[in-house]
Amino acid sequence: MDVSMCVHAYATSCVCTCVHVCKHIYQVGSLFAARFEQVAFSFNGGKDSTVLLHLLRAGYYLHKGKSECFQGNLSDSMLNCPIRTIYFESPSAFPEINAFTYETATAYNLQLETIRSDFKSGLEALLKEKPTKAIFLGTRIGDPNAVGQEQFSPSSIGWPPFMRVNPILDWSYRDVWAFILICKVKYCSLYDQGYTSIGSIYDTVPNALLSIVDSSSTTEIFKPAYMLSDGRSERAGRTKKLPLKCDTACLNNGMTNVSQSGSFIASIIVVGDEILFGTAEDKLSAVLCKKLNAIGWQVTRMIVVQNDIDCVAAQVEQQKSTNDMVFLLGGLGPMHSDVSLAGVAKAFGVRLAPDEEFEEYLRLLIGKHCTGDRNEMALLPEGITELMQHSKLPVPLIKCQNVIILAATNVSELETQWDCLLETPSHPLMRLPPFMSKHLGTMLSDVETAQTISKLCLEFPDIYIGCQRKSRVGPLVITFVGKDKTRIDLAAEKLSNSFPAGAFSEADCG
């Protein structure tokens, strides 16, 4: 099969998928029994929302019985879709994004409703003024805000109630560009300049993987975004992101994105075949999670990976672009299985290089024997490594941009390294109000308590309410987590008062 046949085959598959998605899109009306005016579309000028715009246009006319709109090239149809369109305009947005958004709104007669305040309050005001049952989003599974979402996902705790509809959730980077190129729809000009994932002017640069070597040019030149061969590197152009910058540029709401509620998010990666084989138990990540919660940070991931460079690199690459900080445990030392630093280097696209300062620390620690191993241990990711020194530590902690590598092998060492980390002058962990928790135990069944707890979640959107049972015959433990003790106590009291006296009691979840 030649290239043209491959393109044709993929194009046919893409259009069939689009037809299915378009038909699926307008089933939402019957699900909510809502008028068309109670459905909205969040458009941000990016490639994903551009695809969704044209799917919505096509779907609208399929819904109206005009399936002939799909005959030929979709972009040739200038028929409009009268859907309410929400645009969150930010002062840190690229001018090209703003221009493309307003040009597109004019071209397709979109009912554009621009919000210039912060996302949460702006959305609350908008939905209060114009009741909205569902909002279509161009979220895809690889996006940071896609965690835990499905094609239909209710808004998160703490945000106004609406249904998030994600028609292209399962689309790949390749799918998006195949649709855009095959259907010949207009897109933001930044994508032709090497940008593959566009955020704000402060955290986005052209993707280095698209750079063109041209000795005759005084400026760096990039290939267009659709030339990126590996969609997994889509967010590689987000390297300018500051580790402690709260990013509120998405509609993923509530506890699943605690940056929007005044906190920072972190992930923990543990490297260890012995844990995956069941011959050792991971105790360090649980301790580290509690340490982070105690300074107001929310942990979004605790991941165990193999002692394999590619496995480590893949997780570091994904987590460093979606979290404010990443902590790496295990895989450090002179053994063949100690691949953590090599994995970090690969994730950042740099080489391992000798670090004379770190080698001197190792020389004082190890001595003059084991010279070869000592030198190998002194190889650190080049150009991105910062050594965080403390008088209580035999060797400094290693920080590579927003990735911190902890060398602890037991809980005691971890606690020491954590304390030293917080005491270093340049430590990157801002202290915030800590997360607090309260636990109630009951012998009531899950069925007896489920409805009351669900209602309580709606009444206390600022409190995380979780349930667990350690054994089939043991008590059901309800956990309340938040940053406001008064609210936690009130939520726990309301739960207790909803059942006969004595049904709930304080429980120890330690």
| Domain membership of residue 52 as a residue range | 3-165
Residue predicted with more confidence, 288 or 247: 288
One-letter-per-residue 3-state SS of 316-344: HHHHHCCCCEEEEECCCCCCCCCCHHHHH
Kindly state whether residues 443 and 356 are assigned to the same domain.
no
**Over 80: is that where the pLDDT of 445 sits?**
yes
Of 109, 142, 165, which one is at a domain's C-terminal end?
165
Q: What is the pLDDT of residue 258?
A: 36
CATH of the domain at 319: 3.40.980.10
Residue 250 in any domain: the answer is no
Q: Which of the residue ranges 83-92, 243-252, 296-305, 381-390 has the most confident prediction, judged by mean pLDDT?
A: 296-305
Residue 184 in any domain: the answer is no
Q: What is the mean pLDDT of residues 430-442?
A: 89
Kindly state whether residues 378 and 473 are assigned to the same domain.
no
Kindly state whether residues 24 and 130 are assigned to the same domain.
yes
Q: What is the pLDDT of residue 341?
A: 92
- In total, how many domains does the chain have? 3
Kindly state whether residues 394 and 447 are assigned to the same domain.
no
Of 423, 457, 480, which one is at a domain's C-terminal end?
423
Kindly state whether residues 408 and 443 are assigned to the same domain.
no
C-alpha span between 477 and 506 (Å, rounded): 9
CATH of the domain at 157: 3.40.50.620
Percentage of the chain surpassing pLDDT 70? 80
Q: What is the pLDDT of residue 457?
A: 87
pLDDT-based confidence at residue 247 (cuts at 50, 70, 90)? very low
Average the pLDDT over each of 157-161, 186-190, 246-250 and give the range with the smallest value: 246-250
pLDDT-based confidence at residue 1 (cuts at 50, 70, 90)? very low
Per-residue pLDDT of 11-34, as tens digits, reads 444 545 555 555 555 554 444 334
Q: What is the pLDDT of residue 429?
A: 85
Percentage of the chain surpassing pLDDT 90? 35
Kindly state whether residues 440 and 419 are assigned to the same domain.
no
Per-residue pLDDT of 318-361, as tens digits, reads 899 888 999 999 988 778 788 999 999 888 888 887 777 887 77
Residue 256, C-beta contacts closer than 8 angstroms, at least 6 positions apart:
147, 148, 156, 300
Q: What is the mean pLDDT of residues 212-238?
A: 82
Per-residue pLDDT of 455-497, as tens digits, reads 898 888 888 898 988 787 888 999 999 888 999 999 999 999 9
Residue 310 in any domain: the answer is yes
Q: What is the mean pLDDT of the chain?
A: 80
Residue 20 in any domain: the answer is yes
Q: Of the candidates 104, 321, 347, which has an alpha carbon nearest to the alpha carbon of residue 196?
A: 321
Residue 324, C-beta contacts closer than 8 angstroms, at least 6 positions apart:
243, 244, 245, 259, 264, 265, 266, 297, 402
Residue 297, C-beta contacts closer than 8 angstroms, at least 6 positions apart:
263, 264, 265, 266, 324, 325, 429, 432
Residue 127 in any domain: the answer is yes
Q: What is the mean pLDDT of residues 212-223?
A: 80
Kindly state whether residues 362 and 340 are assigned to the same domain.
yes
Q: Of the candidates 21, 13, 300, 322, which has an alpha carbon nearest to the alpha carbon of residue 151?
A: 21
**Over 50: is that where the pLDDT of 248 sits?**
no
Q: What is the mean pLDDT of residues 163-181?
A: 90
Which pair of structure tokens corresponds to residue 199? 């955020």
Per-residue pLDDT of 103-130, as tens digits, reads 999 988 888 888 887 677 778 888 888 8
Kindly state whether residues 397 and 444 are assigned to the same domain.
no
Q: What is the pLDDT of residue 239?
A: 55
CATH of the domain at 442: 3.30.70.1130
